[in-house]
Structure 1
């Protein structure tokens, strides 16, 4: 029997929805003044909130 070579060319794509997950993130800030601590914590949390909202709006 002779050897047979089969060559296939082309392109394929398959999109799969991302898995859903729950992430729990904790940020802690200490300080003598409550107002300052709240402001520092809000500043830490804002980039995370903004990034998550942007991903949600983009459908990711």
Structure 2
């Protein structure tokens, strides 16, 4: 029973962490889209590039 509680807490923590990171990435993008269109494009490029680098490093490490 304790193992099931651990898995449930791990799952909830993972979901909460992903939601927090999504908000941290999405908020600057939403604000820059409204006020600074050039900065918005730059933020999108940086976020996409960072995603590619992280994904490639995880792929190569695994």
Both structures adopt the same fold (TM-score exceeding 0.5) = no
Normalised-by-shorter TM-score class: 0.3 to 0.5
Q: Which has the higher contact order (CA 8 A, sep 6+)?
A: 1
The structure in which a higher percent of residues are helix is 2
Look at both structures and tell me which one has the larger radius of gyration over its CA atoms.
1
TM-score by length of 2: 0.40
